[in-house]
Chains A and B, each alone.
Chain A
Amino acid sequence: MTTNSNKQSRLRSIADSDMAVGWLFTLPFLVLWAWWFFYPFIQSFIRSFQDANFAALDEAKFIGLQNYITILHDPQFYRAVLHSLQIVVIAVPIQTVLGLLVAMLVNQKIKGKGIFRTIFFIPYITSQIAVTTVFMMLFKQGTFVTEFFTLFGFADTTWFADTRYALLFVSLLFIFQQIGFSMIVYLSALQEVPKDLYEAGQMDGASKWAQFRFITIPYVKPITFFVVSVATILGFQIYDQIAAISRYGALGSPAGATSTVVTYFYQNGIRYMNIGYGSAAVVLFFFIIMIITFLQKKLLDEKG
């Protein structure tokens, strides 16, 4: 009887101790993290120094920097880096500007603004594969969409199968889906702008443009940095859209016109099962992302 209640009170004191409960509560997370994050993370680095093929992993051998040297001598890798940068440079500014514009439009006191918000937001919650699929059907040669774009000097062609337009097509998809997110973030920022700032501006005779330029823009500036960084990181990670347009071909189809750093590592590491080489490409991808994040932070600190 006494031992039983002793045991019970011991259990009780464990369940009430910060040390015990703290570790007990973080344990499931730590186990999964070590198993499915930390170990793979380290593996990525180790494999990058190995000649390792998925079919014969036991025969993996250390080859030093050879994978990195090969990648850095591969013109296809630089082409992939360039494409990644192109997507970001095209898509990020456009989606940021349009995101703010749309947010301001649906922030007015007008009828049906809720419906418009939903319309702009739906692409964001839809899967990338579904949106890409629909756009592929719309941008086939001879549809009303491609014909419409001939008005702006584009050829009437199947955009995603044409090496001139495929990368633009991918950027367009990203813009279309990302605007909804930027709109929502901007919208919550716009609603925080104090109304009397605009009233004061109106009293001073500031035009709508001047109000936008000198009140709205500075006020949402931190949000703009947030929207830009999120879009940049996501832009670099684009995969689904490119995988969808390549259909049964190699990733980055047509003819490598949409190859990116991500498709480069995926094609080599997973499709060709060249684990070592793919891992080295991933490590380089990681460093590129880190450099960009660092540069953006620096820019933010200087301007802010």
Chain B
Amino acid sequence: METKKRLGFVSNYLLLIILGSLFALPFLYTIYTSFVTMQDVNKLSGFSNLTFQNYKLFFTNDAYNVPQWLINTVIMTALVILGNLIINPMAAFALAKLDFRGKKIVFWIVLGSMMVPYHMILIPVYVNVAQLGWLNSFAGLTVPFLYQSLYIFMLRQFFVTVPGEFIEAARLDGLTKMGAFWRIVYPLAKSSLITMSILAFAGTWNSYLIPSTLVSDPERYVLVVGLNSVKDAFFENTPLIMAGVVLTTLPILIFFFIFQKQYIEGISSSGVKG
């Protein structure tokens, strides 16, 4: 019995190690290959032959200007998160705690638009952005995405659990309902707001469909779109492309390691990527 149990444990561990290695392999391959020369691709070249050469291009070539793409991505992501941090909780609070005529309709609007894949509206959004002259601009990349119905729904779920007495107590202290929201309820929602921001961050940072549709000027690329152009332009130069992958993925990985716990909790509670 004991040996059988042991055997089961060992085989489980072995399976885990095999699967884990398969998953880690592309990751390790990427890092390693980004430091070799083209002759040494897919060979074990020894540590003395490793080079930083592949990374240099991205800081010297204006057409593949990773620092610029990083700035663009940071601005886009920051604006989207900022909008979502203001607009979503306001609407969510109104839906959870205020009693106004038409509330039911607003709630159905939230539910209805939550389910629709973005593809459904992409063509008209593209046309409207173009007609406003917003192609290749931050306005086009951010204004349509300053809110998310899904996050409004998530935050509403939280606000419903906030006891009405909190608001009543705040009103007895002389605050209005509006004041009670900003001063009392909003700070209470901190952990929900962090979860939302993390999901919005990952979703925006990694998005390709929208930025690749609305931006064609390499100066205005975000990291993901830039990476794709690097891959296409230097297709035979695997080490260079791998250096591009490392540079463009590093920020989101660092972010992930910082917020790992909240991010995973957010995923398992909401079941969305953003």
Contacts and interface: CB of A to CB of B under 8 A. Distances in A.
Interface of A: 12, 15-19, 21-26, 28-30, 32-33, 35-41, 43-44, 47, 54, 57, 101-102, 105-106, 108, 110, 116, 118-131, 133-138, 143-144, 176, 181, 184-185, 187-188, 208, 226, 230, 233, 236-237, 239-240, 243-244, 247-248, 262, 265-266, 269-270, 275, 278-279, 282, 285-286, 289, 293
A143 B43 CA distance: 10
Contact of B209 (A44, A188, A239, A286): A239
Interface string B57-90: 0000000000000000000000000000011101
Given A32-B144, A125-B202, A184-B268, 4 more contacts: A28-B86, A40-B121, A127-B227, A265-B123
B241 A133 contact: yes
Interface residues of B, number: 91
B98 interface: yes
Contacts of A43: 121, 123-124, 127-128
A29 B114 CA distance: 13
Contacts of A138: 26, 29
Contacts of A26: 90-91, 94-95, 106
Nearest to A289: B117
Contacts of B94: 21-23, 25-26
Interface of B: 8-9, 12-13, 15-16, 19-20, 23-24, 26-27, 29-30, 33, 42, 86-88, 90-91, 93-95, 98-103, 106, 109, 113, 115-117, 119-128, 130, 143-147, 149, 152, 171, 176-179, 181, 202, 205-206, 208-209, 212-213, 224-225, 227-228, 231-232, 235, 238, 241-242, 244-245, 248-249, 252-253, 256, 260, 263-264, 267-268, 271, 273
A269 B123 CA distance: 7
A29 to B, nearest CB: 4
A206 to B, nearest CB: 14
B240 to A, nearest CB: 11
Contacts of B124: 39-41, 43-44, 47, 279
Contacts of B264: 121, 184
B65 to A, nearest CB: 17
Contacts of B100: 18-19, 21-23
B178 A181 contact: no
B102 A23 contact: yes
